[in-house]
C-alpha cells in the first residue's frame, strides 16, 4: 500500500517536473494559456485529495499519537504552513471530506454537493470559498435538509460561472430565506464583551478594538473625569500631575485632544496599579513590567528593548518608563555569554533564575511557537528533574505549558537537548519531522538580521559568511549564534562564571559598503526566514499582547 502511495506521488512530481521543463519562451499564446489552465485544474483537484487524507487520519488516529496537540498543529508542523492555514484546511476537510458514522458506516461529506463538484475539478478554491459563505450567512432556523437543497442549486449555478456571480447568488439565496423567516426579536443576540490588541505596528503602536460592559464604563468614568482632565497625566510635562489638581500653567499648555488624554489617563491608572499593588507572579515571573535590552543599545539611546509580553519598546520609551517606577530591567552585554549555575536546589526554578532564563530566551524555545515569556515555564531541556536533571540555567530553557507536555521518551514525543551554542533544540517525533529548524528564532528577530548588522560593521567577514551559507546546517547554527543572543545578565547570577568573549570587532569599519553586499545579505536574511511559521499572518498577530489569533499555546 505504502509503495502504491509512493509511486502515485512520484508520478505526480515527475509530471510537474515535465511541465516545468517545457520550453516556455517557444510556446504560443494558446499553449501558454493551456499551461495556466492545466495548472488551475490541478489546483482545483488538490484540496479534494487533501480532504480525503485528513478525514482518514482523523478517523484512524489522534494528534497525540503523532506528537502534537491538535490536527492543525500536525499539518502545520509537517507541511511547514501557518497554523491559520492548517486550521482552514482541517475545517474544510470536516465539511468536504468523507465521514464515518459512530457505527463505522461510511457517510457522504457534510457539504455533499460542493464536495462532489470539487472532486470533479469543476470548482476553483474561490468558488468554494464563496459557496461556504452561504452557510455562515444562513439563518439558524433553516434546516439541514433545506440547506442541502439550496447548496445543490448554488453549486449547479456556480459551475462555469465566475466567483463574483456565485457571491451574488449566495447573497440572493440568503435574502430570500430572510423573507421567509421569523420576525426579528426585540433582543437580538449581542456580541460578548472583549478588548483586542492588533499586531504591533512598525511605529511601535497597537490598534485596540473591542466592546466594554456598562460596568466597565461606569468604573472608568471617574478615572476619565479625574486623570483625563486637561493638565493631568501629561507626558510632555516635566513632572506630570497624577493626583490633586494640575497647575493653571499645566492646564493652559495641554495641547492634547480628549482621546489622547484618555489614553494617557488609562496608562497612568495601570502604572499606579503596578506601583502600589503586588499582583504576585505569572509562571514564576513577577507580574510587573519586565524588560530586557543591551547596554550597547542603552548607551546609544537607540534600538529596541523587549518586554516579557513580547512588546517592543524604543529606548527613549524605556528610559521614560524606568525613570517613573521600579520595574525589572535586565541589561546584558551584546557580546558576552554568561552561564548560570544554581545547582539542584528546587524543582521550580527560582524567580531570579526565571528572570535570567527569560532574559535569554524571551519566549517558548520550540521552533515556530509564539508564546511569550509570561506564558512559559522553565523546561529541563536535557534530563527531566525526576531523572536527576539539574536546575542549572544552562540546562533549562523556556517552554510554554503545552509544548512542555509534548516532550518525552515515547515515539510520539518530542525530545529536547542543548546544543553547543547553548540553545535548546527540539527534535520532532518521526511523523512530524520534515527537517525543519530545531531552534526558535521567533523571539530573537535580531538574530535573523545579525549578519546584516555585522556585515555593515565588518565587510571583510562577508565573503566567508556567504561561502558558509551554502551549507544549511551552518546557516541555521549561525543564524542563532550564541554570540547574537542575549546573555544572562550578570546581576541576576548566583555565581558569575564568565565565558571568554566571542571575538567581535564592532567598530572596525563604517557602514558604507558596496551595494551588492547589501543585497546579498538581504537574501541571506530571507534564507534564515525559511522557518515557515514566522512569515504567516497568524503569527504576526501574536506579536506582543495581541489577542487576535491567540498563540496556540495560550493557557486555557
Ligand atoms: Zn510553545
- Give the Å distance between the CA of 401 and the centre of ligand 1: 7
- Give the Å distance between the CA of 369 and the centre of ligand 1: 5
CA distance 161 to 58: 34
- Please check the confidence at residue 298 and state whether its pLDDT lies above 50: yes
- Give the Å distance between the CA of 556 and the centre of ligand 1: 14
| One-character DSSP codes across 218-270 | HHHHHHHHHHTSTTBS-TTSSS-B-SS---HHHHHT----HHHHHHHHHHHHH
Mean pLDDT in residue range 445-451: 64
Question: Could you say which of 122, 155, 180 is where a domain stops?
Answer: 180
228-281: per-residue pLDDT in tens? 999 999 988 888 899 899 999 999 999 999 999 999 999 999 988 887 777 887
DSSP character for 187? S
Scanning the structure block, which residue is given the C-alpha cell 517536473? 17
Q: How many CB atoms lie within 10 A of CB 180?
A: 10
- Give the Å distance between the CA of 400 and the centre of ligand 1: 4
102-158: per-residue pLDDT in tens? 787 889 999 999 999 999 999 999 999 999 999 998 888 889 999 999 999 999 999
Nearest to 537 by CA among 308, 199, 204: 199
Q: How many CB atoms lie within 10 A of CB 379?
A: 25
- Give the Å distance between the CA of 502 and the centre of ligand 1: 29
Would you say residue 163 lies in a domain? Answer: yes
Report the SS3 class of residue 416. Answer: strand
- Give the Å distance between the CA of 373 and the centre of ligand 1: 10
Say what the pLDDT of residue 368 is: 85
Would you say residue 135 lies in a domain? Answer: yes
Q: Please, what is the Cα angle at 182 between 179 and 183, to 5 degrees?
A: 90
C-alpha cell at 335: 557580546
DSSP character for 68? S
217 shares a domain with 155 = no
Nearest to 477 by CA among 528, 435, 442, 405: 528
- Give the Å distance between the CA of 538 and the centre of ligand 1: 15
* 457, 540, 444, 404 alpha-carbon torsion, rounded to 10°: -170
273 shares a domain with 202 = yes
- Please check the confidence at residue 500 and state whether its pLDDT lies above 70: no
169 shares a domain with 245 = no
CA distance 355 to 288: 12
- Give the Å distance between the CA of 170 and the centre of ligand 1: 40
CA distance 428 to 68: 9
Would you say residue 489 lies in a domain? Answer: no
Nearest to 472 by CA among 532, 527, 421: 527
C-alpha cell at 202: 512598525
- Please check the confidence at residue 215 and state whether its pLDDT lies above 80: yes
Mean pLDDT in residue range 32-44: 94
- Give the Å distance between the CA of 339 and the centre of ligand 1: 23
Strands 290-294, 328-332: pairing kind: parallel
Instruction: Compute the half-sphere exposure of residue 33: CA atoms within 13 Å on the CB side of its CA.
Output: 3
- Please check the confidence at residue 99 and state whether its pLDDT lies above 80: yes
Say what the pLDDT of residue 499 is: 38
CA distance 390 to 385: 6
71-94: per-residue pLDDT in tens? 999 999 999 999 999 999 999 999
- Give the Å distance between the CA of 378 and the centre of ligand 1: 11
89 shares a domain with 27 = yes
- Give the Å distance between the CA of 199 and the centre of ligand 1: 19
- Please check the confidence at residue 450 and state whether its pLDDT lies above 70: no
- Give the Å distance between the CA of 284 and the centre of ligand 1: 16
Question: Could you say which of 235, 260, 277 is where a domain stops?
Answer: 277
Would you say residue 380 lies in a domain? Answer: no
- Give the Å distance between the CA of 459 and the centre of ligand 1: 37
- Give the Å distance between the CA of 553 and the centre of ligand 1: 6
271 shares a domain with 166 = no
- Give the Å distance between the CA of 56 and the centre of ligand 1: 28
Residues 6+ away with beta carbon under 8 Å from 321: 289, 291, 313, 327
267 shares a domain with 163 = no
Q: How many CB atoms lie within 10 A of CB 237?
A: 16
- Give the Å distance between the CA of 440 and the centre of ligand 1: 10
Say what the pLDDT of residue 449 is: 64
Number of H helices, E strands in the chain: 22, 14
- Give the Å distance between the CA of 444 and the centre of ligand 1: 15
- Give the Å distance between the CA of 116 and the centre of ligand 1: 39
C-alpha cell at 338: 554568561
- Give the Å distance between the CA of 441 and the centre of ligand 1: 12
Strands 208-211, 99-100: pairing kind: unpaired
346-362: per-residue pLDDT in tens? 344 556 677 778 878 88
Which helix (H) or strand (E) segment is 399 a member of? strand 396-400
Q: How many CB atoms lie within 10 A of CB 291?
A: 21
Say what the pLDDT of residue 396 is: 85
52 shares a domain with 156 = yes
Would you say residue 160 lies in a domain? Answer: yes
Instruction: Using a cut of 0.85, tell me whether the model's pTM lies above it.
Output: no
Q: Is residue 288 very low, low, confident or very high in pLDDT (cuts 50, 70, 90)?
A: confident
248 shares a domain with 129 = no
Question: Could you say which of 217, 242, 277 is where a domain stops?
Answer: 277
**What's the chain's length in residues?**
556
Would you say residue 430 lies in a domain? Answer: no
187-202: per-residue pLDDT in tens? 555 678 999 999 888 8
Strands 312-314, 281-282: pairing kind: unpaired
60 shares a domain with 25 = yes
- Give the Å distance between the CA of 14 and the centre of ligand 1: 38
- Give the Å distance between the CA of 108 and the centre of ligand 1: 37
- Give the Å distance between the CA of 554 and the centre of ligand 1: 9
Q: Residues 410, 411, 412, 416: is their CA dihedral positive or negative?
A: positive
113 shares a domain with 161 = yes
- Give the Å distance between the CA of 366 and the centre of ligand 1: 5
Domain of residue 209 covers 197-277
- Give the Å distance between the CA of 379 and the centre of ligand 1: 11
227 shares a domain with 92 = no
**Number of domains, the chain:** 2
Which comes out higher in pLDDT, residue 172 or 444? 172
- Give the Å distance between the CA of 399 and the centre of ligand 1: 5
Average pLDDT, the chain: 76
Would you say residue 460 lies in a domain? Answer: no
- Give the Å distance between the CA of 365 and the centre of ligand 1: 7
Say what the pLDDT of residue 556 is: 36
Nearest to 524 by CA among 532, 516, 512: 516
Would you say residue 304 lies in a domain? Answer: no
- Give the Å distance between the CA of 282 and the centre of ligand 1: 16
- Give the Å distance between the CA of 450 and the centre of ligand 1: 24
- Give the Å distance between the CA of 83 and the centre of ligand 1: 13
87 shares a domain with 202 = no
- Give the Å distance between the CA of 72 and the centre of ligand 1: 15
Which comes out higher in pLDDT, residue 12 or 528? 12
Say what the pLDDT of residue 354 is: 74
Say what the pLDDT of residue 483 is: 39
Amino acid at each position: 500500500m505504502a509503495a502504491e502511495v509512493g509511486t502515485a506521488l512520484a508520478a505526480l512530481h515527475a509530471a510537474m517536473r515535465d511541465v516545468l521543463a517545457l520550453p516556455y519562451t517557444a510556446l504560443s499564446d494558446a499553449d501558454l494559456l493551456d499551461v495556466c489552465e492545466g495548472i488551475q485544474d490541478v489546483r482545483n483537484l488538490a484540496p479534494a485529495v487533501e480532504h480525503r487524507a485528513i478525514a482518514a487520519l482523523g478517523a484512524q488516529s489522534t494528534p497525540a499519537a503523532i506528537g502534537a496537540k491538535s490536527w492543525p498543529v500536525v499539518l502545520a508542523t509537517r507541511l511547514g504552513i501557518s497554523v491559520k492555514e492548517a486550521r482552514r484546511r482541517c475545517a474544510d476537510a470536516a465539511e468536504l471530506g468523507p465521514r464515518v458514522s459512530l457505527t463505522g458506516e461510511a457517510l457522504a461529506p457534510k457539504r455533499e454537493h460542493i464536495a462532489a463538484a470539487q472532486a470533479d475539478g469543476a470548482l476553483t478554491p474561490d468558488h468554494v470559498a464563496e459557496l461556504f459563505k452561504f452557510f455562515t450567512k444562513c439563518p439558524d432556523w433553516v434546516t439541514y435538509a433545506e440547506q442541502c437543497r439550496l447548496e445543490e442549486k448554488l453549486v449547479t449555478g456556480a459551475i462555469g460561472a465566475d466567483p463574483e456571480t456565485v457571491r451574488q447568488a449566495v447573497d440572493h439565496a440568503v435574502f430570500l430565506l430572510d423573507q421567509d423567516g421569523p420576525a426579528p426579536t426585540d433582543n437580538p443576540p449581542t456580541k460578548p464583551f472583549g478588548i483586542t490588541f492588533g499586531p504591533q505596528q512598525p511605529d511601535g503602536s497597537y490598534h485596540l478594538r473591542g466592546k466594554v460592559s456598562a460596568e466597565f464604563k461606569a468604573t472608568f468614568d471617574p478615572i476619565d473625569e479625574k486623570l483625563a482632565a486637561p493638565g493631568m497625566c501629561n507626558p510632555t510635562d516635566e513632572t506630570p500631575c497624577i493626583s490633586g489638581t494640575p497647575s493653571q500653567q499645566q492646564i493652559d499648555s495641554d495641547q492634547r485632544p480628549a482621546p489622547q488624554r484618555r489614553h494617557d489617563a488609562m496608562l497612568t491608572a495601570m502604572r499606579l496599579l503596578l506601583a502600589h499593588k503586588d499582583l504576585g507572579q505569572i509562571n514564576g515571573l513577577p507580574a510587573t513590567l519586565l524588560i530586557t535590552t543591551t547596554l550597547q543599545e542603552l548607551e546609544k539611546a537607540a534600538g529596541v528593548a523587549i518586554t516579557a509580553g513580547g512588546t517592543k519598546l524604543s529606548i527613549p520609551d524605556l528610559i521614560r518608563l524606568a525613570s517613573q517606577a521600579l520595574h525589572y530591567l535586565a541589561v546584558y552585554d551584546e557580546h558576552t555569554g554568561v552561564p548560570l549555575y544554581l545547582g539542584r536546589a528546587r524543582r521550580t526554578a527560582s524567580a531570579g533564575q526565571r528572570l535570567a532564563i527569560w532574559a535569554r530566551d524571551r519566549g517558548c524555545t520550540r521552533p515556530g511557537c509564539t508564546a511569550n515569556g509570561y506564558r512559559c515555564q522553565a523546561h529541563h531541556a536535557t534530563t527531566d528533574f525526576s531523572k536527576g536533571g539539574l536546575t542549572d540555567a544552562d540546562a533549562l530553557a523556556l517552554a510554554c505549558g503545552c509544548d512542555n507536555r509534548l516532550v518525552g521518551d515515547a515515539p510520539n514525543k518530542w525530545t529536547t537537548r542543548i546544543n553547543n551554542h547553548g540553545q535548546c533544540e527540539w527534535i520532532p517525533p518521526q511523523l512530524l519531522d520534515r527537517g525543519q529548524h530545531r531552534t526558535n528564532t521567533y523571539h530573537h528577530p535580531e538574530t535573523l538580521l545579525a549578519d546584516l548588522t555585522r556585515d555593515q560593521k565588518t565587510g571583510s567577514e562577508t565573503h566567508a559568511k556567504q561561502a558558509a551559507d551554502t551549507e544549511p546546517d551552518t546557516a541555521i547554527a549561525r543564524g542563532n549564534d550564541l554570540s547574537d543572543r542575549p546573555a544572562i545578565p550578570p546581576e541576576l547570577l548566583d555565581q558569575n562564571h564568565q565565558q571568554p568573549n566571542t571575538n567581535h570587532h564592532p567598530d572596525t569599519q563604517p557602514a558604507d559598503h558596496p551595494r551588492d553586499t547589501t543585497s546579498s545579505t538581504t537574501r541571506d536574511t530571507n534564507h534564515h526566514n525559511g522557518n515557515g511559521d514566522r512569515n504567516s499572518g497568524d503569527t504576526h498577530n501574536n506579536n506582543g499582547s495581541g489577542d487576535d489569533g491567540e498563540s496556540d499555546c495560550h493557557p486555557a
